[in-house]
A and B are shown apart, each in its own frame.
Chain A
Amino acid sequence: MKLIQHGAIKAAALSILAAATTMAEETIKVGVLHSLSGTMAISETSLKNTALMAIEEINAAGGVLGKKLEPVVVDPASNWPLFAEKARQLITQDKVAVTFGCWTSVSRKSVLPVYEELDALLFYPVQYEGEELSQNVFYTGAAPNQQAIPAVEYLMSKAGGGAKRWVLLGTDYVYPRTTNKILRAFLHSKGVADADILEEYTPFGHSDYQTIVANVKKFAQGGKTAVVSTINGDSNIPFYKELGNQGIKATQIPVVAFSVGEEELRGVDTKPLVGHLAAWNYFQSVKNPVNAAFIKKYKEWAVANKIPNAATVVTNDPMEATYVGINMWAKAVAKAGTTEVGAVRKAMSGMTFKAPSGFTLTMDATNHHLHKPVMIAEVRADGQFNVVWKTPAPIRAQPWSPYIEGNKGKKD
């Protein structure tokens, strides 16, 4: 924010010299499209913060192509059609060179036609269900084979508890439905029968999990059970509270979640949740110098910018993905020597960046997805995570899951 004010004062001063037009050329505009109000604000606000921090950092290092980056922040208010409108506004009126934004798959699907029609670039930082590959999007979050499948494999293994029965629990929309379809096919391929899979969905904002947890408990009497949760948003907290209420411990029925990270656990008393799992490509607790610097930078930025509860801010996977995305884009622009979409797209392929996860991530040469390491971690009593398993090296994304019929032979 400070940056914009600063820019505005400078612009006002320069306009006296009738140099406002040259001023506009001196910055490169960058769109930030995240919900700052409505239901998704809980998750997306921290991504906006990360984007602004990364832009500040790049500017402090001299900007890109000798120009400063100028963030244009808009608020689509968790309203999916509004995402498309705001995206169009960013591209056609504000003339941004690139946009960093979206969280839910439905918001991405809403803006996708706009980016394809106007041939602009979007960086999407959240893990998703795959089944998409656009020339105009760079996906810096995980595809199913970089999150869901390794997590299930881990729980099947001896070290993960050797689960035999599976509860696939999700919120009723496209991401959980598609992920569970992939997981069901994967479990079949591992010899798990349909009778050993229980698939359940709840509406958005569902807050009473009594019967569902009782059901899970009953199902678990038939053998070692693990729960795969794709519950999204606010429903997670009543769900975890109910697990604690009914005395289900992670040693008996572990729950692995794909949409619960450090940020989501900030509002929860995590003592009863110790041992439940999450699968991501980054955790704040990962120890390495890049991550230590990343966390320190973000904490300082939060304090300096008076973010509410700045003392307790955390970093999480989509924030890391946002940070990686912006830095890769800046490097690609520097390499291409222009912000022109076609040239940047070309420069992005094979781009590398030393990420806070402790690995050097590579943008795939063809499929616009990052090669990412997979980490599986257990909840600690302090709301952070202990990584209990991780891949030795980043793995390549498969946006077209081989476990979905009709994807065979699709080129990624």
Chain B
Amino acid sequence: MRFLSSACSLLLALMFACPAQALVPEDLKAFAEGGPFERSELISTWASSQDTALTAFLDALEEGSLGAFPSGLLARTPDGEEFREWHTDTLIHEDPMTWEGIMVSNVLRAGVERARASQGLASSDPAVRREAVEALRSAASDPAMLEVVERARDRETDATTKALLQDLTRRLALSATDPERRIAAARALQQSGDASTNFKLLQGLLSTDESDDARETDPKVRAVFQSISTSLEARAAFFEFLGHIFAGISLGSILVLTALGLAITYGLLGVINMAHGELVMIGAYTTFLVQGIFRSWLPELEWMYVIAALPAAFAVSGLVGIALERLILRHLYGRPLESLLATWGASLILIQCVRSLFGPQNVEVSSPSWLSGAIELQTNLVLPWNRLAIIAFSAIVLICTGLVLSRSRFGLFVRATTQNRAMARCTGVRTDLVDMLAFGFGSGLAGLAGVALSQVGNVGPDLGQARIIDSFLVVVVGGVGQLAGALWAGLGLGMFSKILEPLSGAVMAKIALLVVIILFIQKRPQGLFALKGRQAE
């Protein structure tokens, strides 16, 4: 941290002071001979120049086409056959076999990023400037930079970037020489900015360690800092709690999504389908295949492969489900134990089939760019796009399923068959067809869950195994045959484990969750929402 801040202040100071001459042969020699740390610092000092040579230098470095040799810093030509001295561009003879490019390790990469950011700060493009400020903000904390940042703030025209610079100014002003200014800065920070970061900043200044030079010594200022720090702590804790709530909703939405298909097959048809997890897995593998198809034939449309994967996964999983129903389950209706064993066997067969076809390793499903990244409201309140998308997707799927079951003719038949099979058959409902389609529908929903899971987790043959237990928990807690039950149980279980996890650790949270469910089922075997009326008996 200290190193980062000092390097940054150095770099900022230089940047606004004088356009130093960069990339002179002596510096390049030092670069060639230094370790990763020295190289990183050198780059930081060069970053002040708006030299186009530096950009080219950084590009070459990141490509790995620079190498340090006793004869100096060499650049390799793209074909890899020739080597030229970097600053003179003269041909040097080296054996290609001895070539070893300079490795860009983390320390060096950080230097490159800072250098690029500082170059960006002077850019005429506001977007580039904003990115640069964001990059510098996380590292800068040297009070000597205050004036420099203030000047940059005054010059800035873009409102958002100006606000970021303003925030940075206030943070730096916490260590200003004038005590009044320090207090004013702390008061301003109390109102705005990132509560968690500011809290940590004040805590650092309030350190009781006498040897710490940066600590606040003025008792009056200390008292103000102390009270502000206390209020910030509460705010930071509040945002952290919001973060846990979001995590709970997000986990809950995934649980609801995986359990929804099960709620139909188990709830409505009374079949304990142990292969449900494998139908989810098949949905995820379908996503992988669709991605492959887009990559090979429609590379310019790759960003939307996830959307195309939805109907594909629904269809594939649905068809596999229908095949299961026709081949196995049809013969076992009304015999829950046998169907449990048969579907468990089917799940093992499906896993091993996928393993033989695709190999035991996970396959790569990459998130399209519009699903990557996050909205960062606070340091401890980050809303990733893919999780937001899954929450929205779960809600849509839940509503559609509800509509299909309550409004469509197919839904009417399913409900009729569930409630009274014999009577439904008497009125002309083809119950065996309804069974098949309902099972296919539930399996298709599992396929949709597979698409969603491929965006947050791994896609491998064992994907379903890990999910099946949680899905059954949701269905059992929610109450058999109830969509609303699946919703509330899924959200409840997700929330419960995410709020408990930071308090007790993931392992204890899991145990506590299971204990609570056991107690709950003892008290209320029918689940949260029980079917009422005659058919319940």
A residues whose Cβ falls under 8 Å from a Cβ of B = 36-39, 41-42, 45, 158-162, 164, 172, 200-203, 205-208, 210-212, 214-215, 217-218, 221-224, 234, 236-238, 241-242, 244-247, 250-252, 254, 263, 266-269, 271-272, 275, 277, 287, 307-309, 378, 386-388
Contact = CB atoms under 8 A, between A and B. Distances in A.
Contacts of B110: 161, 251
B352 A267 contact: no
A158 B41 CA distance: 11
B394 to A, nearest CB: 15
Contacts of B100: 287
A223 B196 CA distance: 14
Contacts of B387: 210, 245
A105 B386 CA distance: 36
A238 B250 CA distance: 14
A222 B200 contact: yes
Contact of B360 (A41, A224, A250): A41
A254 B386 CA distance: 23
B103 interface: yes
10 contacts: A41-B360, A159-B36, A202-B507, A203-B510, A222-B200, A224-B1, A234-B458, A245-B386, A252-B138, A271-B366
B362 A268 contact: yes
Contact of A234 (B243, B367, B460): B460
A41 B109 contact: no
B107 A267 contact: no
B520 interface: no
Contacts of B507: 172, 201-203
A159 B380 contact: no
A37 B458 contact: no
A378 B1 CA distance: 21
Nearest to B387: A245
Contacts of B197: 221
A42 B251 contact: no
A159 B363 contact: no
B7 to A, nearest CB: 12
Nearest to A240: B458
Contacts of B240: 214, 218
B364 A247 contact: no
A200 B352 CA distance: 33
Given A203-B510, A211-B502, A308-B356, A218 B379 contact: yes
A41 B360 CA distance: 6
A162 B36 CA distance: 12
Contacts of B374: 245-247
Contacts of B366: 269, 271
B285 to A, nearest CB: 12
Contacts of B246: 210
Given A41-B360, A221-B200, 19 more contacts: A38-B462, A39-B462, A42-B360, A42-B362, A45-B359, A45-B361, A158-B107, A160-B106, A164-B1, A202-B506, A207-B457, A208-B254, A214-B240, A218-B380, A238-B456, A238-B458, A247-B373, A269-B367, A378-B105
A211 B247 contact: yes
B459 interface: yes
A162 B466 contact: no
A42 B457 contact: no
A261 to B, nearest CB: 12
Contacts of A245: 372-374, 382, 384, 386-387
Given A268-B362, A378-B105, A212 B506 contact: yes
A234 B506 contact: no
Contacts of B505: 200-201
A298 B502 CA distance: 45
B87 interface: no
Interface residues of B, number: 68
Contacts of A378: 103, 105-106
Given A42-B360, A203-B510, A247-B374, A386 B103 contact: yes
Contacts of B351: 37
A271 B250 CA distance: 24
B460 to A, nearest CB: 6
Interface string B346-362: 00000110011111111
B517 to A, nearest CB: 16
Contacts of A161: 106-107, 110
A266 B362 CA distance: 7
Contacts of B352: 37
A187 to B, nearest CB: 18
A162 B360 CA distance: 38
A41 B355 contact: yes
A275 B106 contact: yes
B338 interface: no
A215 to B, nearest CB: 6
B428 to A, nearest CB: 46
Contact of A251 (B109, B355, B367, B384): B109
A210 B247 contact: yes
B35 interface: yes
B358 A309 contact: yes
B106 A254 contact: yes
A363 to B, nearest CB: 30
B391 to A, nearest CB: 12
A221 B202 CA distance: 12
Contacts of A244: 372
A237 B362 contact: yes
Contacts of A388: 36, 103, 105
Contacts of A217: 379-380
Nearest to B470: A207
Interface string B97-138: 000100111110110010000000000000000000000001
Interface string B245-258: 01100110010000
Contact of A267 (B364, B373, B498): B364
A159 B379 contact: no
Contacts of B103: 378, 386-388
Contact of B506 (A201, A218, A222, A271): A201
A16 to B, nearest CB: 35
A271 B364 CA distance: 12
Interface string B366-391: 11000011101001101010110000
Interface string B1-44: 10110000000000000000000000000000001110000000
Contact of B466 (A41, A234, A309): A234
B501 interface: yes
Contact of A221 (B3, B196, B254, B457): B196
Given A201-B507, A234-B460, A268 B364 contact: yes
Among A208, A218, A246, residue most surrounded by chain B Cβ atoms (within 10 Å): A208
Contacts of A269: 364-367
A275 B104 CA distance: 9
Nearest to B455: A241
B471 to A, nearest CB: 13
B244 interface: yes
Nearest to A252: B138
A384 to B, nearest CB: 12
Given A238-B458, A266-B364, A267-B363, A275 B36 contact: no
Given A218-B240, A275-B106, A237 B382 contact: no
A205 B470 CA distance: 12
Contacts of B362: 42, 234, 237, 266-268
B361 A223 contact: no
Given A205-B466, A251-B113, A307-B359, A221 B107 contact: no
A177 to B, nearest CB: 11
A272 B369 CA distance: 11
Nearest to A272: B372
A250 B372 CA distance: 17
A267 B384 contact: no
A200 B250 CA distance: 22
A160 B498 CA distance: 33
Contacts of B200: 221-222
Contacts of A222: 200
